[in-house]
Amino acid sequence: MYPKPTFPDHFADGAGQWEVHLPDLTATQALGESIGNIAKPGLVVALVGELGAGKTSLVQGLAKGLGVPDPGQVTSPTFTLLMEHHGRLPLYHADGYRLKNPWEWVDLGGDEALASGGVICIEWPDKLGQFLPEKHLRISLIHAGCGGRQATLQWHN
């Protein structure tokens, strides 16, 4: 066993960069859960990484940390593009992959979700163009050796 990765307290107040190795799926979910535990209303999490990097897995953990009753229902929102789950705060999970242009995000109600005071997790965030809030937590996931992932977390203000 290895220690579960947890979001460091000193990093929670909106500045800096932090890197962590995620050896397996459980670690990705544990990182997400620790973010869900401390998430405040209006948190925007931008999840960057190639297909299969682990973005949705991290959101599953985050849903658990937010108290969503069945985090297993958090699946890739590729076809619905924006899904809502209910925990201690509303959780919106979006997938920008298939957005043809940023305005489609507005048509989907993305702007309203951002204004809702919930927590928003966005896969392929750069597809939102100018509609991605400047202030967000950016998590980049890349394939590491031995089948795991390397996560880089960075606050953007």
Ligand X SMILES: Nc1ncnc2c1ncn2[C@@H]1O[C@H](COP(=O)(O)OP(=O)(O)OP(=O)(O)O)[C@@H](O)[C@H]1O
CB of 28 or CB of 66, closer to ligand X? 28
Number of chain residues interacting with ligand X (CB under 6 A):
18
Among 39, 45, 53, 82, binds ligand X (CB under 6 A): 53
The yes or no reply on residue 97 touching Mg ion (CB under 5 A) is no
Compute the Cα dihedral for 74, 69, 38, 22 and give only its sign.
negative
Phi first, then psi, for residue 100 (nearest 5°) are -80, -30
Q: Which of 125, 118, 119 is nearest to 139 (CA)?
A: 125
- Under 8 Å CB-to-CB from 16, ≥6 apart: which residues? 154, 155
Q: Which of 76, 116, 140, 152 binds Mg ion (CB under 5 A)?
A: 76
Under rule CB under 5 A, residue 25 binds Mg ion:
no
* Phi, psi (rounded to 5 degrees) for 14: 95, 25
Tokens of 38: 């401390």
Residues 76 to 135: which contact ligand X by CB under 6 A?
76, 123
In the bound state with ligand X, the residue whose beta carbon lies nearer, of 49 and 118, is 49
Site string for ligand X, 1-40 (x = CB under 6 A): ---------------------x-xx-xx------------
Backbone angles phi, psi at 99, to 5 degrees: -65, 130
Residue 52 touches ligand X, criterion: CB under 6 A: yes
Rounded to the nearest 10 degrees, the angle between the axes of helix 25-38 and helix 55-65 is 40
55 binds ligand X (CB under 6 A): yes
Which residues are near ligand X by CB under 6 A?
A: 22, 24-25, 27-28, 49, 51-57, 76, 123, 147-149
